[in-house]
Chains A and B, each alone.
Chain A
């Protein structure tokens, strides 16, 4: 097992050395080109300056990362907790399928972020309006993919289940749910990518804390170095959320075709 793991790590390194090298070159090029092309510091700072200045402001950055992270996670999890049961209900109720479902499909076209100013005027500058925005951004891809997932069982499996005479509940537990998981994860991953975007923009619109707020304030103060630090932390946050979802996906559905090499 450990030998296998070491082998896998070595393979990962040999497979990804090119992209690692690319990143190294990218940052080196950035570092040097700022001097070569004499770009003013208040337009584009050097990566090394960003690291040094960000460390000086680290406590605030950590605080704000926590705030934005909390908004993201709360909104994302609430979306999952509400969207999955609702997706199930819509799949199995013909009334809901003819009412709420088309409603959702049309709302999906609305840019959810457009609601942000309204929510902020209704709920203030605190956590709640941001959580609601993240929730809205995540909810629709999750619920729509869940409906797709639970509604599309192959004819063969459906018929096979019918010949056994198993109860709807049993078929649900043993066939429908596992077959639906891959498509559900399409929604989870798409939502994970958009969750931090929702939180950031909601903070741009009205906030007194969080990384989105921070980026806006420091940019106003001609401190692009600190703005880049905020962007970097948001990137890490987005990657972590996506990474966790991918990890859970691998653990839950290792058999799925997209998980195979």
Chain B
């Protein structure tokens, strides 16, 4: 299997008052093509920072990131990225915000009509396409942002807490949709979360990150059948994975 993303000895320090302070790493990670990998760790451990480095949006302080055979040295255009904070612009509707991704990439939204309606339907935003972000609930905004990140059909997805602001019921639904999408199209996904349950449910691999400065402490392969529906979630194996990860975090003293 080919490594879609390989992270070699990568770390990031930020200089605070002239002093460099280590925020993440050094860490190694291989993400295979078609993998669904979650980065699971307490807040402040550097998950967002790692995603930004992979996207080429901020430089690494040390080490090297290789994506699809080339070193990441500048912003990658072949990814779909969902940022922790919304990238919906307030002057455009849901549809307009999805089109923004296409327009900025010199793609014609007219060629994506079917894909857009399909995507909007899959996240249950049908009927809300023409509303502006401030007219939507936090959860709906996040679903719209997900559509914005997916519309150009990227082969690699970097998702920073994509389901963070959703209520429990919607979250369950969107997890299912995201999982279906992944099973159908098999993009490489790297997703940040701080929900253990979400990590076990969604991923083929879970990277457990220690508190700041974050280190990738354990990579746990989740060998549960797909799709991870309610039945799978009620299984003993699911509970065992949850317990295993909970124990790791108890060891760090964060839960």
Contact of B83 with A by CB under 8 A:
yes
A162 touches B75 (CB 8 A): yes
B91 touches A253 (CB 8 A): yes
A257 touches B89 (CB 8 A): no
CB neighbours of B103 from chain A (8 A) = 170, 174
| A163-B55, A163-B57, A165-B77 known; A154-B85 Cβ under 8 A | yes
| A156-B85, A255-B132, A257-B134 known; A178-B91 Cβ under 8 A | yes
Chain A 165-181 residues near chain B, CB threshold 8 A: 165-166, 170-171, 174-175, 178-179
Min Cβ gap B59→A in Å is 13
Chain B at the A interface: mostly helix, strand, loop or mixed? loop
A170 to B86 alpha-carbon distance, docked (Å): 20
| A161-B104, A166-B104, A253-B91 known; A156-B86 Cβ under 8 A | yes
B87 touches A160 (CB 8 A): yes
B81 touches A163 (CB 8 A): yes
Min Cβ gap B100→A in Å is 7
Query: Which of under 10, 10 to 19, 20 to 34, or 35 or more describes the interface residues of B?
Result: 20 to 34
List the B residue with the shortest CB-CB distance to A160. B87
A160 touches B81 (CB 8 A): yes
Contact of B227 with A by CB under 8 A:
no
A171 touches B104 (CB 8 A): yes
A156 touches B104 (CB 8 A): no
Min Cβ gap A165→B in Å is 4
A159 to B52 alpha-carbon distance, docked (Å): 9
A170 to B105 alpha-carbon distance, docked (Å): 10
Contact of B76 with A by CB under 8 A:
yes
B101 touches A164 (CB 8 A): yes
B75 touches A165 (CB 8 A): yes
A164 touches B89 (CB 8 A): no
CB neighbours of B75 from chain A (8 A) = 159, 162-163, 165
B134 touches A260 (CB 8 A): yes
Contact of B90 with A by CB under 8 A:
yes
Pick from B57, B79, B87, B106 the residue with the most CB of A within 10 Å.
B87
Top 6 A-B residue pairs of the complex, sorted by shortest distance between their CB atoms: A164-B104, A166-B104, A165-B77, A160-B87, A162-B75, A255-B91
The residues of A with any CB-CB pair to B shorter than 8 Å are: 154-157, 159-166, 170-171, 174-175, 178-179, 253, 255-257, 260
Knowing that A165-B75, A165-B105 touch, tell me 13 more A-B residue pairs with CB under 8 angstroms.
A157-B87, A159-B55, A160-B87, A162-B57, A162-B75, A163-B55, A163-B77, A164-B77, A164-B105, A165-B104, A175-B89, A178-B89, A257-B134
